Structure 1
């Protein structure tokens, strides 16, 4: 049995997790909105059309902030279409996902849903087919208390109090060839700067995230971030990152190693942002918003992305997640936690049905996918100081395959620790999130927690299944779910546990 030694100290912290780190994403994409969070004819729906069974699962999942309305969708979205009397709202072609957008759910409905779900709203503005003027008008509509045409229009629509949205995204993936009105970094940097200026003239209290490159594998990556930040540095607080992990190569060991590339991606963007600050002799630090991340590959290409005939809310991108996917996903959660000093916001994409932890049947049941479990642990137990850890454990080598267009990309990973771990110190708790990447062997871990005394085990759970292809379905919704981990020993400040092969484990201790 391989073994690992972990050393941590109560006084050596990476940073404190921001509440926004545990976010999610709702886009007008497939059945995420219509048939997902919103289905007026569903037996559990309230008077506003919100599915009660989905809301219950969202509260259990624990996201803290939700990005809306896109995504690719936002680059062609006229926000005015989604406000006012529902019967007067226009039906539009959604070019992003080749479907009809009925606009029966819009900004105000989303704000009401956020209040019921107990999440903060994060709004994206259209900097594709629209521009700075439409963006500042949306801020006025949402945040100004009254006495102007747009704020009074919101009041006439039935929302007398301002929505007070604090976090805004300046467009989406504007370097992507798939994006409506794709831009060069100079073009985008200029329009984002003017949008930021005008939006903050309306409400100086808001915070803004500028688009980074749409992926680390894009040819634009690096140069895009530098040029865009040279334009926007004085006007924004965040730059965005997007990553979707895959197992196209059907290489489980490499797939479970891929979250380590998220660590590298984060550190590279931090270096670029700080280089721009250094050139300006500025002490300001741009923070990171990892506002799209997940496992996604089975439904990413081909006819799984669109349906013919411009349907309303077609069932697209409905990835069925396996035990294997949940493990890679858990590794991504750990990567985010271990960069809490600079990654202050993050959004799991998406929330319901489309590449999501929650699935529904239209008119029927809702259930948890395998990735629901590590995210719920992450979001509900990951608040606090992230402690630095020194890990001594066996390693393996892998090569991760990430195709991008016509170019095949391979990332060698020569020394991948079998154990990936994050440690969180709450007010009176110590929580360990652990991923055992060894596919065949359990792993014995010995954790020395300096500065803690009289640790007492509060919770020990592991997510494990002998079949890495096991998935939760409507007919078998609980096939993959956490179970108690037996045999955890605690001796003062020492924690000893045996992690099953290929498992995600959470150990939570009360700590003096």
Structure 2
């Protein structure tokens, strides 16, 4: 059995645990909104048409900040379509996902849903096909108390209190040729800077996110961030990162090491942002909003995608069903985001319901947890206080895509009266015996130890078998004389809570 030793030092603080790290993403795509969040007539629907079975799962998931309404969708979106009397809202074509948008759920309705889940809204504005004035109009409608044309319109529409939205995204993936209205870095940097400056004239305390590269594999990656930030650095607070991972050609070992690529991505963007800051002689630091991340079987989607000439409402799109291995990777990616909490201060798991999501629903029927639900919900519940950097002494292995990777990965958080350790075993065949020096944490007992694993790493939760995969108590965990020992099954994710 492979062995690994981990040392935890309470003083090795990286940064506070950022609650916005546990954000998610709702886009008007597929069945995320319609028959996902919103389904009037469903047995659990409230008076506003929202599925309360989904609300309860979202609360259990522990998501904090929700990015909305896109995504690619936002680049063709006219926000005015989605407010006011529902019977007067126009049906529009969404070019991004080749679907019809009914606009029956808009800003005011979504804000009501957020209150049910105790979540914060991160709102995206369309800078691709619209521009500065519509963004200012949306800001006025959303945030101004009353006494102006658009704030009074919101009041007349039944929302007397302002939404007070703090985080705003300036478009989405503007480097991507798939994006309606995509731009060069120079063109986007200029419009983003002007839009940001205007929005901060209205409210200087807004937190604005400028678009970084839509992926580290883009040919302009790095240079895009540099050019955009040279224009917008003084006016924005975050640069976005997007990353999706999947198993390629049966190479499970590389897939399990996906977090090493995310770490490289973050390093590169931080270095680029700081380079621009140094050039500008600025004391300001640009943080990262990793506002799209997940496992997504994009290759299979692209290969199977056929242009559907029929325009439909809420078609089934991107409904990946996740495996145990996928859940281990998602848990590991979230561990990496925690480890980078010094600069990644906001993140959004993409997406929330039905579309590459931890929660699935059936129209008129059940809602259930995907395998990926569990590492996210448990980490959100247990992680608090400060993130500390572990020292991991473990075997390594060679991957085909990401070079050398540690068999064991770990991160820990510590609070006044509790701490938590999160672990991954990437070994494909063998369990690992772990010893963890926790003396510095002052922990004397194990409050909880759970592991997500299965003899079939491709096991899934489905409509027919909704509870096929779930975490189980790890009975090997023990603590004595300040040393915690635990065995980790192959291809597994584990969380330990200490008191």
Same fold (TM over 0.5): yes
Partner of 2:9: 9
Partner of 1:406: none
Give the Cα separation in 2 of the matches to 1:286 and 1:63: 24
1:300 CA drift (Å): 2.9
Q: Residues 414 and 441 of structure 2 are in contact (CA less than 8 Å); yes or no, is this contact kept in structure 1?
A: no
Q: Residues 305 and 317 of structure 1 are in contact (CA less than 8 Å); yes or no, is this contact kept in structure 2?
A: no
1:428 CA drift (Å): 1.2
Give the Cα separation in 2 of the matches to 1:66 and 1:373: 18
Note if 1:473 corresponds to 2:462.
Answer: yes
Note if 1:206 corresponds to 2:195.
Answer: no
User: TM-score scaled to structure 1, two decimals?
Assistant: 0.96
Partner of 1:504: 493
Q: Residues 304 and 316 of structure 1 are in contact (CA less than 8 Å); yes or no, is this contact kept in structure 2?
A: no
- SS of 1:300 mapped into structure 2: helix
Distance 1:81 1:305, change over 3 A: farther
Give the Cα separation in 1 of the matches to 2:160 and 2:431: 58
Unaligned runs of 5+ in 2: none
Q: Residues 213 and 224 of structure 1 are in contact (CA less than 8 Å); yes or no, is this contact kept in structure 2?
A: yes
Unaligned runs of 5+ in 1: 401-411
Note if 1:252 corresponds to 2:252.
Answer: yes
Q: Residues 128 and 181 of structure 2 are in contact (CA less than 8 Å); yes or no, is this contact kept in structure 1?
A: yes
- SS of 1:152 mapped into structure 2: helix
1:6 CA drift (Å): 0.6
1:453 CA drift (Å): 2.7
Note if 1:353 corresponds to 2:342.
Answer: no
Note if 1:390 corresponds to 2:391.
Answer: yes
Give the Cα separation in 1 of the matches to 2:370 and 2:189: 39
1:454 CA drift (Å): 4.4
| 2:408 counterpart (389, 414, 419) | 419
Give the Cα separation in 2 of the matches to 1:416 and 1:451: 27
Give the Cα separation in 2 of the matches to 1:452 and 1:471: 36
1:33 CA drift (Å): 0.3
- SS of 1:225 mapped into structure 2: helix
Q: Residues 306 and 316 of structure 1 are in contact (CA less than 8 Å); yes or no, is this contact kept in structure 2?
A: no
Q: Residues 17 and 341 of structure 1 are in contact (CA less than 8 Å); yes or no, is this contact kept in structure 2?
A: no
Give the Cα separation in 1 of the matches to 2:498 and 2:481: 11
1:206 CA drift (Å): 1.1
Equivalent residue runs for 1:82-481 within 5 Å: 82-297=82-297, 299-304=300-305, 307-400=308-401, 412-413=402-403, 415-481=404-470
Root-mean-square deviation over aligned CA pairs: 1.1
Give the Cα separation in 2 of the matches to 1:453 and 1:377: 22
Give the Cα separation in 2 of the matches to 1:381 and 1:264: 26
Q: After superposition, give the CA deviation of every residue in 1:280-339 in whole Å (9 maximum; x if it has no partner).
A: 121211000000000001653144476440100000100010111111111101110110
Partner of 2:480: 491
User: TM-score scaled to structure 2, two decimals?
Assistant: 0.98
Give the Cα separation in 2 of the matches to 1:300 and 1:432: 35
1:494 CA drift (Å): 1.4
Q: After superposition, give the CA deviation of every residue in 1:114-165 in whole Å (9 maximum; x if it has no partner).
A: 0111100000000111111111110110000010001000000000100000
